[in-house]
Structure 1
């Protein structure tokens, strides 16, 4: 589908466009894989000015003349455990995502239908991948429906794993399903996909983020491109096609 197919500004049932998913992107039978590659690291011989990372740390000899045992710093399991713990601390939570999304409430588009999320999306690999898959050009995203661009911006800004990156809502939903991250439970921070007239995944019209389940047949959400702005909404679960579950730190 070309991005131009969703650029109309005068319909309440506009579908958002798509872009590249971090990692593998699957929409229908098409699949793309992005591989980040860098120069290979070569072994280096330790020198007096630049010791190897795994070289034993030399402890000063005390006045008694007896040397302490050298500690292999690079292989110390305590160092590795500490590094893993620090990495886990940096992983975003659902609360982090909702806090960032809420901070954008009130953000609107301009008179041409473009928002800051459109402008950001066009500078990312997501837009180029969307053009490769659906046709059109990157400039088509300038004033296209931006509900999924908003969700993608939130996930990308925080570095959320398993969030995907899209602007075409059916494609984004299919990616979640292909990753085994698709279900029917409205968890906080889940990406929620709506269809106003049914039709399953291919009939998805809109997307947002779940704030909470109200346990009365409705959910509270934060959505972009709803009445041309980012807003908090209460939606009936009868309009929900399904939920995508990012990989949040528990």
Structure 2
């Protein structure tokens, strides 16, 4: 199957109210499992480089971003740990209806589903068989305990815009960054089709990624050309 974004009916528009609801996730509690979800990761990890690019970095004396402030109240989680958690999901696949994963079930049971259904139209049951790449990214952030700096949404465009509005958007593929794709090669947030995690930059015009709702409806590791990347969102990681 071809990966595609969730476009509810009617097509979502980002109203001022929607932006307020989306921004509110910064101050909500951490994930339901927190660091316990990472307890099996005993690999010695090299702390990742700063995930923010020059475009979103601030002067030394300036105020911190809302995500950096939120991160002070969260578990200290590295990009490597988040990628390990994402990689543990490789092989999870959707059912014949395009849904039925634990990512769908979690999102439907979350308060965020009620907010986004109210924003986009329909109800939470509409997510049961919906495209789930953004739900996968959101689930990883929740299970890692860093939801307030990862964001949560079922719609790729709105999720990307949340990073941009919080000053954590850029063009450098750092490990653990949330990568947004436009299959036509556009660089506009409004054209985003798909989302996943950057595992590493291959240095040859491609990146290695971990994505949900890819291939034949699986979580998979992929190699993607950077020409299809619209931009990157940068969660706040330790290290």
* TM norm structure 1: 0.69
1:16, distance to aligned residue in structure 2 (A):
3.0
Among 102, 112, 132, the residue aligned to 1:126: 112
1:50 corresponds to = none
Residue matched to 1:202 = 190
Given the alignment, which residue of 9, 16, 27 partners 2:6? 16
Kindly report structure 1 stretches of 4+ aligned residues shifted beyond 6 Å.
Answer: none
**1:94 offset after TM fit, Å?**
0.4
Q: 1:188 to 1:90 in 2, by over 3 A?
A: same
Cα distance between partner residues in 2 of 1:92 and 1:171: 24
Q: Secondary structure at the match of 1:143?
A: coil
Q: Given the alignment of the two structures, is residue 144 of structure 1 paired with residue 134 of structure 2, yes or no?
A: no
Structure 1 residue 88, shift from structure 2 partner: 8.5
Pick from 95, 104, 107 the counterpart of residue 110 of structure 1: 95
SS at match of 1:16: coil
Residue 226 (structure 1) aligned with residue 214 (structure 2) = yes
2:83 pairs, out of 98, 101, 118, with 98
Could you list the per-position Cα deviations for residues 128-172 of structure 1 after superposition, in whole angstroms to 9, with x for gaps in the alignment?
A: 111111111100000000000000000011111411101100100
CA shift at 1:13, angstroms? 5.3
CA distance, structure 2, for counterparts of residue 187 and residue 28 of structure 1? 31
Q: Which runs of 5+ in 2 are unaligned?
A: 30-71
* Distance of 2:81 and 2:123 partners within structure 1: 33
Q: Quickly say closer, same or farther: Cα 1:132–1:126, change in 2 above 3 A.
A: same
SS in structure 2 at match of 1:91:
coil
| Alignment coverage as a number of residue pairs | 184
The more displaced of 139-148 and 123-132 is 123-132
The answer to whether the 8 A contact 2:3-2:213 is kept is no
Structure with the greater alpha carbon radius of gyration: 1
Given candidates 212, 227, 230, the residue that maps to 1:238 is 227
TM-score (norm 2): 0.72
Task: Provide Cα deviations, 1:23-74, integer angstroms capped at 9, x if missing partner.
Answer: xxx946442244669xxxxxxxxxxxxxxxxxxxxxxxxxxxxxxxxxxxxx
Other structure's SS at 1:97 match: helix
